[in-house]
Structure 1
């Protein structure tokens, strides 16, 4: 990881009309880091992620990508920036009427001039990276939830983005499948040099992969802590943060 700032928010407020979601959000995501957006239910984690991928314009504040003001750019320039982003949505968001290969190929077909045989080879490479090369012609309904997450990850990689956004990638997965997905995410950072922003409430995954983060508070509607999950667990004195970051440990202590 370098000290280069890839993404930055400065004094951002997010709202839907009069409904305030979060205010005074400031953060920096360094190149090659895995940055976690943390907090309890309803605090605005996914809303913040949507804003960072260009789906929700902040009410106030600045969002920049490598120093370039995203919302001050022209729509054409924002499209160029968006092509640097890969997104894995919580459900995988695969097209149910398409095979896995067709799902992964779609961004390349829509946004590049690559020949069909080249696209096919690229699809095979992306699915191979996530361990699904033999499932290229299967439909989403024919595979498990964990495989659908991996297929969604392959599609997120289709345009070779250098910035990846994951919304609850481990949600609904068993511990073994979740750990395998964590390994894939670490490989993306270490092998491809990707910068990753992840929304998650899964503590084992957060402690294993995230090296920086922000904690959003639902009551005050402001960020109340910054740091890696381990730093927040071991050093943050805010009772809400402490309860969130130690909940599984305390549950384990109370089990007979």
Structure 2
């Protein structure tokens, strides 16, 4: 468990965080550090609290205990106005894409800029074209979510997450429901965000091929003890973690005959 002082390249950190919904404990004792320009994975089985931890990181759930810092600033001790300003540094890709069905793809991507900036319409249009071009959806600007595939909706959601040029991106199960080829293409986009734009990325996932391919480090949450039981990259957890639950999770596809690296 991380216990060393934060380094200058630490962008997000948690110390002894407890998450709960009323009397229902979700996770306790969460401590982690996320380096600038890294891809950090939140791992674990179903019901362990992965998405709940992500919700806390983006300001939707206040911890019962503990401290959450963004570049050394205590997020929950800040004023509401300051928290809102910090949130503008975040981009979020929700599991379903969460696009407005009554709006075109271009309108979906434009919405954050229209609501949170004073950019003129012509500039917004140029930015929408730029974001959609980055995710390979230049020709989908006038289409509605119902007119494109699931993989394209994920990429459209990613374009919207990039609308305000955030330096921290949060992805909730980005590969869920996608075929292996489409999932691999999305992984490529995520790697491009890190390598090309220098983005810091937090990803919730149980998809082993994606985790092994893109994640630099991570945390493993246990549903039974309701605590984190391992920290490290997916490869480190697979090859060196002695906990049988972690080992079983990280090797399950290999045991099923797949070629996980």
The bucket for the TM-score relative to the shorter chain is over 0.9
- Once residues 32 and 244 of structure 1 are traced to their aligned partners in structure 2, the CA distance between those partners, rounded to angstroms, is 26
Per-residue CA deviation, residues 33-72 of structure 1 (Å, 9 max, x unaligned), is: 0000000000000000000000000000000000000000
Contact kept? 1:105, 1:120, Cα under 8 Å = yes
Equivalent-residue separation in structure 2 for 1:41 and 1:192 (angstroms)? 32
Cα distance in 1, alignment partners of residues 242 and 182 from structure 2:
33
Q: Secondary structure at the match of 2:19?
A: strand
Residues 226-247 of structure 1 show CA distances to partners (whole Å, capped at 9, x for unaligned) of: 0000000000010000000000
Instruction: From 51, 62, 66, give the equivalent of 2:71.
Output: 66
Aligned to 2:54: 49
- Which residue of structure 1 lines up, in the alignment, with residue 195 of structure 2? 190
What pairs with 1:235-250 in structure 2 (closer than 5 Å)?
Answer: 235-250=240-255
Hey, what's the Cα distance between the residues in 2 that align with 1:195 and 1:177?
A: 22
Offset at residue 3 of structure 1 (A): 5.8
Determine the C-alpha separation between the residues in 2 that align with 1:242 and 1:145.
32
Superposed CA RMSD: 0.9
Structure 1: gaps of 5 or more residues: none
In structure 1, what is the Cα distance between the partners aligned to 2:149 and 2:124?
25
Secondary structure of the structure 2 residue equivalent to 1:97: coil
Question: What TM-score do you get using the length of structure 1 for normalisation?
Answer: 0.98
Residue matched to 2:13:
8
Which residue of the partner structure matches residue 21 of structure 1?
Answer: 26
Query: In the TM superposition, what is the alpha-carbon distance from 1:252 to its structure 2 partner?
Result: 1.1
Does 2:178 match 1:173? yes
Q: How far does residue 27 in structure 1 lie from its aligned partner after superposition?
A: 0.1
Q: How does 1:1-256 map to 2 (within 5 A)?
A: 4-252=9-257
TM-score, scaled relative to structure 2: 0.96
> 1:39·1:45 contact (CA, 8 Å) conserved in 2?
yes
How many residue pairs get matched?
A: 252
Distance 2:88 2:184 in 1: 28
